[in-house]
């Protein structure tokens, strides 16, 4: 989704790369997909107040680096963050007047499971951990600013851009 949003060069979108303690997958690049760090490094960042939010998700820690977020905000960029629902709530609390939380939900939990199986990035244990959160994520996701069914990618991208355009003044 975010890769498709970033393709529209007419909009001032930038992507905030999250930090994680999860191991890098074969196709991922450090600094592009995530900043991959050890738990010790992660908690050093937490202690030194370098993350605006962080959560434990699927047995790993994920967080949003503060410095680029603040820099881009000052430059008038629209910063796209890929967060779980609790991370989205944390950002809403920190930036109530300048954040917009859009929950992308599957048409049905079984569709999400099929997407994860097709993606083949999780083993059975990890897949079960992910699926155990679906009910909670759906419940909290509905309480965010918008909830969009992520069924047909082109349609979903268009709907998300329309929502952003309703809320953001572009220069």
pLDDT tens-digit profile of 122-163? 788 888 878 888 889 999 999 999 999 999 999 999 999 999
Res 90: pLDDT: 96
Res 171: pLDDT: 56
Taking residues 40-47, what's their average pLDDT? 98
Res 75: pLDDT: 92
Res 113: pLDDT: 81
Taking residues 60-74, what's their average pLDDT? 96
Residue 81 has pLDDT above 80, yes or no: yes
The average confidence (pLDDT) of the chain is 92
Res 114: pLDDT: 85
Hey, where are the domains in the chain? 2-166
Taking residues 86-111, what's their average pLDDT? 92
Asked if CATH classification 1.10.10.10 holds for the domain at 2-166, the reply, yes or no, is no
Distance CA 22, CA 15 (A): 19
Take residue 158 and report the two structure tokens written for it: 């268009």
Characterize 15-52 residue by residue with b for buried, 16 or more Cβ atoms within 10 angstroms of its Cβ, and e for exposed.
bbbbbbbbeeeeeeeeeebbbbbeeeebbebeeeeebb
Taking residues 85-102, what's their average pLDDT? 95
Res 115: pLDDT: 82
Res 14: pLDDT: 96
């Amino acid at each position: 989704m975010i890769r498709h949003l970033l393709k529209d060069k007419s909009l001032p979108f930038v992507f905030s790369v999250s930090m994680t303690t999860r191991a890098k997958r074969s196709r991922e690049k450090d600094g592009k997909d995530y900043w991959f760090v050890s738990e010790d490094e992660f908690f050093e960042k937490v202690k030194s107040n370098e993350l605006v939010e962080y959560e434990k998700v699927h047995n790993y820690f994920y967080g949003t680096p503060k410095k680029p977020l603040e820099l881009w905000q000052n430059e008038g960029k629209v910063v796209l963050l890929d967060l779980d629902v609790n991370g989205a709530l944390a950002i809403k609390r920190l930036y109530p007047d300048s954040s917009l939380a859009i929950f992308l939900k599957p048409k049905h939990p079984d569709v999400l499971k099929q997407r994860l199986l097709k993606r083949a990035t999780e083993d059975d244990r990890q897949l079960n951990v992910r699926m155990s959160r679906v009910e909670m994520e759906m419940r909290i996701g509905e309480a965010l600013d918008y909830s969009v069914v992520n069924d047909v990618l082109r349609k979903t991208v268009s709907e998300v851009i329309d929502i952003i355009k309703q809320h953001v003044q572009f220069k």
